[in-house]
Amino acid sequence: MHALHNIEMRILDPRLHDWGLPRYHSEQAAAWDLHACIDAPLTIAPGDPALLVPSGIALLMGESGLAALVLPRSGLGHRRGLVLGNAVGLIDADYSAEIMISVWNRNPPGGEVITISPGDRIAQMLFVPVVRPDVNVVGDFTRDTARGAGGFGSTGVGP
């Protein structure tokens, strides 16, 4: 399989050469795993504010048709409560500084404290195409839809 896009990656933390560079961890994985490039274990209690953890990499995508999403790792979020403080991180094509991972402990007060160790794989990065449409400001739409102006929640929840 050939890459549709070429990006450049700078390694800002040399420990990634030992831990493993961000990569796909299975044949059909959709996203790279990102490591916590920290110098000592980081403890996050329930209710603590979100913290920024360096990933040790910077990227140059350089084309407006590409972006990257930083997402939580499913198992860590479900089993341990480690999620992203901003739900999803968006990396624009023209952002070339270090990728930072906003982490948050979503466990209830009194729940599990989460400890992140140096090198832990704590998030994942998914590359996505971006569509940047031209927008025409209009007084009325040129056509109707079946849903129309029903608004938020208008399709209901039933089968």
Could you report the per-residue pLDDT of 34-47, keeping only the tens digit for each? 999 999 999 999 99
Determine the pLDDT at residue 88.
94
Distance CA 72, CA 90 (A): 13
Over residues 10-21, mean pLDDT: 97
Percentage, residues of the chain above pLDDT 70: 97
Task: Provide the b/e sequence for 53-67 (b: ≥16 CB within 10 Å).
Answer: bbbbbbbebeeeebb
The architecture (CATH level 2) of 8-129 comes to Distorted Sandwich (2.70)
pLDDT tier for residue 144 given thresholds of 50, 70 and 90: confident
Q: Which amino acid makes up residue 14? A: P
Between 30 and 1, the higher pLDDT residue: 30
Output the average pLDDT for the chain. Answer: 91
Q: Is the pLDDT of residue 150 over 50?
A: yes
3-state DSSP percent of the chain in helix, strand and coil, to 5: 5, 35, 60
CB 38 within 8 A of CB 17: no
pLDDT tier for residue 3 given thresholds of 50, 70 and 90: low
pTM: 0.86
